[in-house]
Structure 1
Amino acid sequence: MKRPHRKSDARVTAIEGSVADGESPVRQCAVTREKLPQDAMVRFALSPDNVVTPDIAGKLPGRGVWIRADRETLETAVKKGAFARGFKQQVVVPEGLSGMVESLLLQRLTGLLGMGKKAGDIVLGFDQVRDALQKKRPGLLLEAADGAEDGRSKVYFLAKALYSNVKMAGALSSEELGVAFGRERVIHGLVRKGPIAKATVLAYQRLAGFRTRPELDWFPDQDR
């Protein structure tokens, strides 16, 4: 399993729904006791047989327990019995819950990217991304974690030369980006500025609590 980057911070994140709906309601983390926007957290519900179940969309019925969206906090919740306290009963915590949440958050993100592609808000390919950068500020740059340093540097520094602040997502592999866009692999991508880009940035930040963000080491001066 991947660990979150030391500079990742789930407290400043939000998920897709808050883009259109305004500010997210505040919830209290069952572990840290922080009061955070619910979009910076992961909700958990109970299945009919009392199994703790990630509710990524926050829509499952019944009582919910909210945990700050990062691996360390979730693993602390499991270790210290936060779910039994939160649900006020004995519960079954599945093995590998953190990995399950990471997978679901990844699915959420790739689903958003796929929607963006269908809506015409995604540009793919090295030359196409560089051409799009010349025309308009991007909402988000996509660079595969296993892509070549030379290519991503050329994209990033062109963007920085043209615009004062640039956001990049680098925690997805070329295969994971390929899944989002129905291709075998994708190395370079761009999400056009707009609602889809905002939603994608926020969904990516929530995922970042569960895996390393290599872009923070590639380009420490980027906008976060």
Structure 2
Amino acid sequence: MTRGGKRRNREEGPERRCIVLGESGLTEGLIRFVIGPDGDLVPDLAERLPGRGMWLTSTAEVLNQAIRKRAFSRAARAPVIVPEDFAERLESLLARRAADSVALARKAGLAVTGFEKVKARLKKGSVGALLHARDGSDQGLGKLTPLSGDATLIDVLTSEELGLAFGRDYVIHAALDADGATDRVLREAARLSGFRPRTLPLDGPSGDQAPVGPALDAPADDRGDTEGSAARSDP
């Protein structure tokens, strides 16, 4: 999300100010925090908890700055307890919300998975988002990206996390239709991306770029609909 410069139309939503960067923007790129009863820092990802909210740009770098500079204590004007593993906990919470939002889009009938089904859906017309597991091979994505048009590429979830969203052991590729439920996926994925930098460019992979970590070749995925065929119960 671009911050600073020209102000956005207020009809697009409320703006909040990052306590570290001092820049204002729509809440879609920020995380709200409150202070718990015992003085501990609590991420309010649903933005519903009572108390005075403190807003922070959703990136690991800004969070680390806030902790190092005691920005939460200054903003709250009181001592704030921040656990040593707070950044890791927050990333896990963001990942779960992103996966849950994908599950909601699936249950609303907006999602398809499996290489051939995703390919067919992209050929049919525009989609809201193309999902690719961040630990998946870029070979399949290289075939899908030219068909994706203006779809947003989301590669912040692992194959296992995507699998949980679809009730399977793992998922490498998925496509989401444009809809309100998909808008939530885009928002949650954008917040998580600040903690999991994009591993592939928006315009498709190049020969010298690969996902971080061991890539899943998933040859079954390239053959069709057997991707993540072992069923799991819905999350």
For the criterion TM > 0.5, the same-fold answer is yes
Q: Is the 8 A contact 2:99 2:157 kept in 1?
A: no
Provide Cα deviations, 1:146-171, integer angstroms capped at 9, x if missing partner.
Answer: 22222111111233xxx3x2321112
Letter of the 2:194 counterpart:
G
Is 1:198 paired with 2:187? no
Q: Choose which of 24, 40, 46 in structure 1 pairs with 2:13.
A: 24
Structure 1 consecutive aligned stretches of length 4 or more whose deviation exceeds 6 Å: none
Partner of residue 91, structure 2? 102
Matched, 1:210 2:199: no
User: In structure 2, what is the Cα distance between the partners aligned to 1:204 and 1:53?
Assistant: 20
What SS does the aligned partner of 1:202 have?
helix
The residue number in structure 1 matching 2:135 is: 146
Q: Which residue of 2 aligns with 1:166?
A: 151
Alignment-mate amino acid for residue 46 of structure 1: I
The match for 1:50 among 39, 50, 57 is 39
SS class of match (1:45): strand
Inter-partner Cα distance in structure 1 for 2:56 and 2:42: 12
Mapped to 1, the partners of 2:201 and 2:89 lie a distance apart of: 25
**Structure 1 match to 2:146:** 157
Does residue 130 (structure 1) correspond to residue 119 (structure 2)? The answer is yes
Residues of 1 paired with 2:96 and 2:83: CA distance?
19
Matched with 1:185 is 170
> 2 CA distance for matches of 1:76 and 1:89?
18
8 A Cα contact 1:11 1:40, kept in partner: no
Contact 1:143 1:188 in 2 (8 A): yes
Q: Distance in 2 between matches of 1:220 and 1:187?
A: 15
The 3-state SS of whatever aligns with 2:47 is coil
Matches of 1:217 and 1:139 in 2, distance apart? Answer: 14
What displacement does 1:65 show?
A: 1.1
Please give the alpha-carbon distance, in whole angstroms, between the structure 2 residues aligned to 1:212 and 1:68: 14
Counterpart for residue 3 of structure 1: none
3-state DSSP class of the match of 1:138? coil
SS at match of 1:216: coil
Shift of 1:218: 7.0
Rounded Cα–Cα distance in structure 2 between residues aligned with 1:178 and 1:215: 20
| TM-score normalized by the length of structure 2 | 0.79
Distance in 1 (CA, whole Å) between partners of 2:27 and 2:120 is 37
* Worse-superposed segment, 119-128 or 171-180: 171-180
Change (3 A) 1:191 1:217: closer
Q: Computing the radius of gyration over CA atoms, which structure comes out larger, 1 or 2?
A: 2
**Does the 8 Å CA contact 1:50/1:92 hold for their aligned counterparts?**
yes
Give the gaps of 5 or more residues in structure 2.
5-10, 207-235
> Which stretch of structure 1 is more off in the superposition, 209-218 or 169-178?
209-218
Aligned residue-pair number: 201
Q: Which has the higher helix share?
A: 1
CA distance in 2, matches of 1:217, 1:124: 20
What is the TM-score when the length of structure 1 is the normalising length?
0.83
The superposition leaves residues 68-87 of structure 1 with CA deviations (integer Å, 9 ceiling, x where unpaired) of 11111111110111111111
1:87-143 Cα distance to aligned partner (Å, 9 max, x none): 111121112222222111111111111011111000010011111112221110011
Matched residues in 1 for 2:86 and 2:2: separation? 18
Verify the 8 A CA contact 2:142 2:205 in the aligned structure 1: no
